[in-house]
Homo-oligomer: A and B are copies of this chain.
Amino acid sequence: MAARSDRSRVVLGIDPGTRVLGYAVVEARGGGSFRYVECGVVRPARTELADRLLEIVRDVGEIIETFGPTEMAIERAYAGKNAQSALKLGEARGALVVAARSRGVEIFEYAPAAIKRAVAGNGRATKAEIQERVSWLCGLASWPRADAADAVAVALCHVFGGRAAS
């Protein structure tokens, strides 16, 4: 992959969903080193889908304005077996992409296996393994919930350039 600038930059990791969305903010410092900043979840009030999407866009917009990421990393959508789920996931992704691109944030996508490999060295790592590895890599005292841990994982995958953590 291309050499990265050594200037530090803020990366936003997102685990998309319309019920619960995980987010993570990390500062990339060049050469794969990073500083963990924050992770958490956005849980839209359970109203109709249109309003949940709007809430997601507003909350993610606030996160972007607070932390000033220039890059957003998101899991590449895989078209699973269920078209109805794909449609819903697409709706969340469409809303998120707009929230990010309208603020000039570049979007990077990584395959699920690449994300798992990057943080756990294993493309088939379990949710718990991801939570554990992310906590260890970021020096967290406790495990973030799975959605937030997945968001940290995709952010770190981006920081590591899609390669496994050394």
Residues of A within 8 A of B (CB): 49-51, 53-54, 57, 77, 79-102, 107
Question: Which residues of B sit under 8 angstroms from A89, Cβ to Cβ?
Answer: 87, 90
Determine the chain B residues whose CB is within 8 A of the CB of A97 once the complex forms. Answer: 49-50, 53-54, 91, 95
Q: Assembly of this chain: how many copies? A: 2
Residues of B within 8 A of A93 (CB): 87, 90-91, 94
CA distance A85 to B83 in the complex (A): 8
Shortest Cβ distance from residue A74 to the other chain B in the assembled complex, whole angstroms: 10
Interface contacts beyond A53-B101, A86-B86: sample of 8 additional A-B pairs, CB < 8 Å, sorted by A = A54-B98, A86-B87, A90-B92, A91-B91, A91-B94, A94-B95, A95-B98, A98-B99
Nearest neighbor of A54 in chain B, beta-carbon distance: B101
Interface pair B90/A87, CB less than 8 Å apart? yes
A102 to B61, CA, bound (A): 13
Q: Which residues of B contact A57 (CB under 8 A)?
A: 98, 102
Query: What are 6 of the A-B contact pairs (CB < 8 Å)?
Result: A50-B107, A83-B83, A83-B86, A89-B90, A93-B94, A94-B98
Which 6 pairs of residues, A with B, have the shortest CB-CB distance? A90-B90, A94-B94, A91-B94, A79-B83, A79-B84, A83-B86
Q: Which residues of B contact A100 (CB under 8 A)?
A: 50
How many whole Å from A27's CB to the nearest CB in chain B? 23
